[in-house]
Every structure is written in structure tokens, then in C-alpha cells.
Amino acid sequence: MKVFKTDIAIIGGGPAGLSAALAAAKAGARVDIIDAGFLPGGQYWMQDPTGAPPLSDQVSEGRDAIATIRAAGVTIHSGAEVWTVFPDLKIGANGPDGPFEIVPRAIIVASGAHDRVMPFPGWTLPGVMTPGAGQRLAKLGGMSAGDRVVLAGSGPFLLAVAETLAKIGKPPIALIEAKRTNAGILAHMARHPARWREAARLLATARAIPDRRAGWIVTEALGTERVTAVRIAPIATNGVIAHDDAEVIAGIDALLVGWGFRPMIEVTALLRCRHEYDRAQGGWFCATDPKSGRTSVEHVYAAGEVTGIAGSVPARLSGRLAGLAAAADLGFIGSDPAAAQAEAVAKLMPARRFAYGLGRLYAPPESLADLAQDDTVLCRCEEVTKRDVAAALDAGTQAVSGAKMWTRAGMGRCQGRVCGWGIAEIAARITSTTPEAAGFNAPRIPLRPVPLSVVLEATREVEA
């Protein structure tokens, strides 16, 4: 197995990872990026491997960022999935040319986020996807999930997806937003005039959608071989779902439904970094020093969405800070690092305040956890139902970790990345506790499915 030695290894090639790489490389450090995508860029700067013309300024901006870090001498391992990280910071990955190991002096985790998903009746039907998946299809080749798409859930990202679908000529036929526009949202936007133009652009796209509902949610996906309709219901002011007032939107062929994002913490959790919980930041996130990205583990740094859902601007700024700090801690001092840090911190704090404010305002309603019925599958990989989880909790097991051991919920290929948040919310609802008390799936290696041959090959080292 090939072994690459480097100063700083960065896990994730989105805006945070690329920004960290550039800052560290400019300071003089040798930097390697490990990224699962065909090309770096992440969800925000997503690059089409076919080389198709960019759909947005974001894609062009990403191309420029990638070219800049390549020119800075950063090594990029694309199409490579990290399946293990050891306490001595050795990273095991599996790429297009087979398994390899990276031995860095420091690690920056910029692993990004998952779509936040809640199980509900019919969510396993073909044609039911997350908004993030729909966005990815559209960006990677101009494909839509369907001809008649319903977009549902909560949060500004829904508007970004609607805009992308409109650009490829497949705008959604309905937008079902759980949150009603209120004085709190308007006041929050009023405090951040720099975001007005973007908001106006996204709202213009939304106004063109024929069926727009605010204060409604999808309660069920209907169909036999695939989704053909959705049942929707309003949410009362006390947060209760008014099922008696439900309506059906028929004649659809795709449903994109999601509740924002949650940090992808399996690497930082595997390394035993300290984590905190905040619903406004996506749930569990890796706790860092906001001015440096340092975690509770020496020589491990984190940047971007893994430190709390905040969007691309905070991701880039926190990435720059982590890159500067990691390089400096290894003895690489670029030109005027104190000034660079101060500038990034000054921009980061208001950007995060804006994002976390939106996170609080668009927090998913707690009553979502009541949608799943006894026979609703919660863990798709292991086909574990709500009845199975409820029985385990009733028998005395504790929270998410106990449900995992008793039912195998979260033990499948996705390792709880799809079902973990929903199971925690449902477990909290069943036991009359909180999602924070319910905890999260403790990661185990391999973090990603790999052939046994990869594990065997990991014992054979050949210097590269």
C-alpha cells in the first residue's frame, strides 16, 4: 500500500477544505487533500466531471479556487474515501487506484454535512429524495429528479434548490415550507443588508412556483412502485400537525424533502474530539476554538460545517483560520499571519451570527418525530422499524447507542448518516427526553464500506 507523508492532511475538499489548504500552503506547509468527489468543490462549489458549462457563478468560483490551490502545490486525492483515522493521525483511504495511507503531522477535518432527514410514511418509495440529492443531480449534468417535483421541508436551502431546478428548466410544481414568514425572520434579515440581494433573487424564483405553502409539511408519500402523490398538512401555532386538515397533491413523480443539514462528525468523533449540541447548528458538532479551528485533540483542527451548519462564507473563513493555525503550530509562519487571522475572525463572527440565527428561526418542528408509524422503517440499511426501536427502549435500553445495539439501527452501510438524526429525535420523543440526551451513533471503522482486500492491503507499506 502506498504511504504518503505530509505536513497537513485535510479531509474534505469543499470551500472549507480548499481555503484551509491555500492558507497552509501559502505559509510553506506541504498539504494533501483527501476528497470523496470526482473533483473537489464540495456541495457548494460542486464541479461537473463532464466539463459541462457552469450552471452558476458558484461553479466558476469553485473552478478558480481549485486552480489556485493546485498552483500553490497542494496535492489532491480525488475520489478517495477515508475509512479510518487512527489516534496517531494515520489516515486510511480508498481511492480509484486502490488503498493508500497518509501520515501527516496535523489533520484538518473539513468533512462537511449530511442532509437532515426525518423518516415518515412512504419515505422509502423510489422518487423520494433529499433536497441535497436533487441539487446534486441538477448540478452534475443538468438532470432533474422528475418532471413534476414537490420540494418540501424547511430552510433557505429549499430556495437554492428551486433556483437550480428552474435553471435546468424543471422548476418544482409545489414548495411546502414548514415555517411561516414572521416578524422574527424579517427582523433578522433586516439586520443583515449584505444578504438582501441574494434573498431577493431566491424569493423571485419561489414566487414563480405555482403552489406555495408556508406552515405546511409533507406527512406521507403516496404510491406503489414510486411516489405519485404526497399528503400535506398544516402546522398549528402550538406546533401540532393538523392531520384533519390534510390535502393531497397528486400527479407528481418526485419529492425532495429535508430539514436542512447536520454536521458530518464521524471523523472528529472517531478521534475523540469534544462535541457539543445545538439544534440551530444542525445538532451535534465538533467544538473548536473559533479563532483557530483547534479541537480538543492536539494537532487536530476542524473547519466548515463539521463545526456547525453555517454555509459557504463561514466555511471558507473558518477554513482559512484552521489552515493558518495548523501551519503556525508546525512552525510555518507566512507573511503577517496575525493580520490574516484578525481579518478572517472579523468577517467570520457576523457571518456565523447570521447563519445561526436562520438555524434557530427555521429549526425543524419537534412534532416531525410523530410522523413515523409503528411499521415505518427508520433504518433502511437494516430494515429496522419504529416498532423495533420503541420495543428496545421500552425494554430498558438507553438512547441511540442502546437502540443500535439492540436493533442494529445505524449499523448498515450508511452507519447512521441517513437515519441517525431521525432515530435520535424519535427516541427522545418516545422516552420524553431530549435529542441531546439521546446522543448519536459512535462511529466505528470502517467509516465507509471497503473490501476486505483493502484492510489486508493496509498492512503492506510501500513508500510513494
| Domain end (from 334, 359, 384) | 359
Question: How many domains does the chain fold into?
Answer: 3
* CA 128 – CA 262 distance, rounded (Å): 19
Prediction pTM value: 0.94
Q: Do 130 and 191 fall within a single domain?
A: yes
| Domain end (from 202, 226, 258) | 258
Q: Do 141 and 246 fall within a single domain?
A: yes
pLDDT at 439 over 60: yes
Region of poorest pLDDT, from 66-70, 118-122, 328-332, 441-445: 441-445
| Domain end (from 297, 326, 359) | 359
Residue 36 maps to a domain: yes
Residue 47 maps to a domain: yes
pLDDT of residue 451: 87
Q: Do 273 and 228 fall within a single domain?
A: no
- Phi, psi of 138, deg, nearest 5: -65, -40
* CA 157 – CA 309 distance, rounded (Å): 12
* CA 304 – CA 263 distance, rounded (Å): 9
* CA 409 – CA 431 distance, rounded (Å): 17
Residue 88 maps to a domain: yes
Residue 451 maps to a domain: no
CA atoms in the 13 A half-sphere facing the CB of 358 = 22
Q: Do 91 and 169 fall within a single domain?
A: no
Q: Do 223 and 283 fall within a single domain?
A: no
Q: Do 192 and 241 fall within a single domain?
A: yes
Residue 238 maps to a domain: yes
Q: Of 140, 135, 128, whose CA–CA distance to 166 is shortest?
A: 135
**pLDDT exceeding 90 applies to what percent of the chain?**
82
Q: In 150-195, which ranges are continuous DSSP H helix?
A: 157-167, 183-190
**To the nearest whole number, what is the mean pLDDT of the chain?**
93
State the angle between helix axes of 420-431 and 399-407 in degrees (0 to 180), rounded to the nearest 10.
Answer: 110
Query: 300: Cβ–Cβ under 8 A, 6 or more apart, which residues?
Result: 89, 106, 107, 109, 268, 271, 273
pLDDT-derived band at 460 (thresholds 50, 70, 90) equals low
Average pLDDT of the segment spanning 71-97: 95
Q: Do 16 and 98 fall within a single domain?
A: yes
pLDDT-derived band at 214 (thresholds 50, 70, 90) equals very high
Q: Do 315 and 386 fall within a single domain?
A: no
CATH number for position 150: 3.50.50.60
Residue 453 maps to a domain: no
pLDDT one-digit tens code per residue, 107-144: 999 999 999 999 999 999 999 999 999 999 998 878 99
pLDDT-derived band at 453 (thresholds 50, 70, 90) equals confident
Residue 454 maps to a domain: no
Q: Of 371, 378, 386, 458, whose CA–CA distance to 412 is shortest?
A: 378
Q: Do 129 and 234 fall within a single domain?
A: yes
Domain with 223, as residue range(s), is 119-258
Q: Do 131 and 235 fall within a single domain?
A: yes
pLDDT of residue 342: 94
Q: Do 9 and 77 fall within a single domain?
A: yes
